[in-house]
Structure 1
């Protein structure tokens, strides 16, 4: 499901500080990139047995090359999905994701957004 109306979407930041902030908040890049795109995933364990949720934040290079480590990334709308064994993670709107998981994902995104904005304001000074 798309997590609309978050402050993080449309944020533009250099790849290296973006990755640092995302990893500091538990996201993993784990080689999920190509020359133009990056994808950060955060695993959210559920109290129910055998259910795992994933918060995904993707972005694309507005300039530069992700492979070189020197790119300016624009973030897209975050996604929240549920892992279905053995098929993988589904991010569709029809996924039934509990409100407490949605709220947790929004809190994480708010925290990341605050750190991104803090970095941007420090960089501007």
Structure 2
């Protein structure tokens, strides 16, 4: 499910501070990157049996190389996914995401957006 009601999409930031802010908010980069793209995932446990939700924030390099650790990243539209054990994560609207899960994801994105903006403003000074 695309989460389009936030300001994080199209934010542009260097890879290292972006990763620091994302990890500070519980996201994991792990091995989910290549030379041009990064993907941060946040695991959100659910009360349903064998269901886990994931908040995913991806981006791509508009300058530099992610592999080198020196890249400027543009953030794409965040996604909310539902993991069905043992099949994998589905990101479609038809998954029927509970309202409380969507609201929690939006709160997390809002907090991340505030921190990204604060960092960008401090760097501009």
TM-score range for the pair, normalised by the shorter chain length: over 0.9
TM normalised by structure 1 equals: 0.98
> In structure 1, the residue corresponding to 2:50 is in which secondary structure?
coil
* Structure 1: gaps of 5 or more residues: none
1:26 Cα deviation from its structure 2 partner: 0.2
Q: Residue 80 of structure 2 corresponds to which residue in structure 1?
A: 80
3-state DSSP of counterpart to 2:62: strand
Distance 2:47 2:65 in 1: 40
Greater displacement, 111-120 / 90-99: 90-99
Q: Which runs of 4+ in 1 moved over 6 A?
A: none
Residue in structure 1 matched with residue 66 of structure 2 by the alignment: 66
Q: Does 1:111 align with 2:111?
A: yes
Residue 94 of structure 1 aligns to a residue whose secondary structure is helix
Question: How many pairs are equivalent?
Answer: 125
C-alpha displacement of 1:5? 2.4
Q: What secondary structure sits across from 1:8 in the alignment?
A: coil
SS at match of 2:95: coil
Match of 1:49, SS?
Answer: coil
Describe the superposition over 1:43-101 as per-residue Cα deviations: whole angstroms up to 9, x where unpaired: 00012222100000000000000000000000000000100111100001111110000
Matches within 5 A, 1:1-125: 1-125=1-125
CA distance in 2, matches of 1:3, 1:30: 22
Using structure 2 for the length normalisation, give the TM-score.
Answer: 0.98
Measured on the aligned residues, the alpha-carbon RMSD in Å equals 0.6
